[in-house]
Amino acid sequence: MMEFAGRSRFRSRLSRGTYERVGVARPGVIAIVVAILLTSMPASAAPYPPRVQVFVANSGSNSVTVFDTRMGEVVGTIPVGATPVGVGAAPGGDRVYVTNEQADTVSVIDPRPLAVVATVPVGRHPFGVTATPRHAYVTNFSSNSVTVIDVATNKPVRDIQVGRFPHTPATNPDGSRVYVTNNGSQSVTVIDAAGQKPVATIPVGRFPAGIAVSPDGKRVYVANTGSNSVTVIDARRNKPIATVPVGRAPIGVSVTPGGRVYVANARDDTVSVLDPSGDPTGPAVQVPKRPEGSAASPDDSFVYVTNNGADSMSILDAVTAKLVGTVPVGSQPEGLVVTS
């Protein structure tokens, strides 16, 4: 298959060590650290809802790692299809969707028994997935389309043509818009969820990959892997309003409830942190080899980053951006999602 900017070009398998506190090689220490951090959150932080978990797609081991955010440990590994790369969750977290790139399918996971409950055929080389209360949207990289899945029936109901090599989708908070990065078109397609059709195309940088929407729905952030930048989009006008330099080969991007933007720079082994306007909040944070995915917790406590070249996931404090822990996961992790 065709390789493309915005995902790993190298598929090395590295041995995984124990789950350890940064700088302290003792098993179990990080679980204690996470517990302490959770119990000492500021009073303004919303409490965790039940069963908040991180689901990590391991593209090299055809599995999904499940990390329990309260216990601070991995609680399960779920077999899925060939080469899982993208992960999305339904609002409320009752279903998790995983794109299996080499199988042209999506695995539907019930997070209670940690089991696949359906496998849905989609387009060629599905990469990313996002969900609203009614539908899941899957970007088919080699079909230049988005497959719409009815979440009640787990059946595909429509294919929407978008730009060349669609990479990652994201929804706004009320589920009325779906934003799709077109890796081969230097653009973002805006889909109206009610009419299930494109309503705008927004120019961005080279090889756009990850995308995330601010909690208030007013800003959209796009990681331009080929331009080493992030495009900030005004969602009301569907226009770019800023282009911000970050590290080399940015791929994953997430926005915390507090509005901070975390960008995984795959070739620098760093994570850039931006304020809502796109300005850097400080120096980039060093993480293990080849960070690709980024996802924020629902209570503004932590940000999780997959390290594709180290078979691990980094945990960063969402407010201070300090690296507080590293978790071993499966082989070559890429996408991830935090349920809420």
What digits encode the pLDDT tens for the residues 177-211?
A: 999 999 999 999 999 999 999 999 999 999 999 99
Q: Is the pLDDT of residue 33 over 50?
A: no
- Lowest mean pLDDT of 43-52, 105-114, 199-208, name the range: 43-52
Find the mean pLDDT for residues 259-276. 98
Q: What is the pLDDT of residue 254?
A: 98
Find the mean pLDDT for residues 141-151. 98
Q: Is the pLDDT of residue 311 over 60?
A: yes
Find the mean pLDDT for residues 80-104. 97
Q: Is the pLDDT of residue 140 over 90?
A: yes
Q: What is the pLDDT of residue 9?
A: 30
Find the mean pLDDT for residues 288-308. 97
Other Cβ atoms within 10 Å of 152 Cβ, number: 9
Cβ 192 vs Cβ 177: under 8 Å:
yes
Helix extents (H) in 112-211: none
Find the mean pLDDT for residues 118-139. 98
What percent of the chain shows pLDDT beyond 70? 85
Q: What is the pLDDT of residue 2?
A: 33
- Lowest mean pLDDT of 28-32, 86-90, 288-292, name the range: 28-32
- Burial, 145: exposed, middle or buried (Cβ in 10 Å; 0-12, 13-18, 19+)? buried
Q: What is the pLDDT of residue 327?
A: 97
Q: Is the pLDDT of residue 48 over 90?
A: no
How distant is the alpha carbon of residue 163 from its chain centre? 20
For 257-293, letters b (16+ CB in 10 Å) and e give beebbbbbbbebbbbbbbebebeeeeebbebbebbbb
- Distance, in Å, from the CA atom of 323 to the CA atom of 253, rounded to the nearest integer, reads 17
* Kind of pairing between the strands at 302-307 and 291-296: antiparallel
- Lowest mean pLDDT of 35-49, 167-181, 298-312, name the range: 35-49
Q: Is the pLDDT of residue 8 over 80?
A: no
Other Cβ atoms within 10 Å of 193 Cβ, number: 18
Q: What is the pLDDT of residue 130?
A: 98
Residue 55: C-alpha distances to residues 100, 180, 330, 334 (Å) = 14, 21, 11, 11
236's tokens: 């009301």
Q: State the chain's mean pLDDT as an integer.
A: 88
- DSSP code per residue over 226-262: TTTEEEEEETTTTEEEEEEE-SSSEEEEEE-TT--EE
Q: What is the pLDDT of residue 23?
A: 35
Cβ 243 vs Cβ 229: under 8 Å:
yes
Cβ 310 vs Cβ 264: under 8 Å:
no
Cβ 130 vs Cβ 136: under 8 Å:
yes
Q: Looking at residue 20, what DSSP letter applies?
A: B
Q: What is the pLDDT of residue 26?
A: 36
Q: Band of the pLDDT at 5, cuts 50, 70, 90?
A: very low
Find the mean pLDDT for residues 145-154. 98
Backbone angles phi, psi at 255, to 5 degrees: -125, 130
- Global pTM? 0.87
Q: What is the pLDDT of residue 50?
A: 54
In 3D space, the residue among 265, 259, 231, 269 whose CA is nearest the CA of residue 318 turns out to be 259
Cβ 163 vs Cβ 182: under 8 Å:
yes
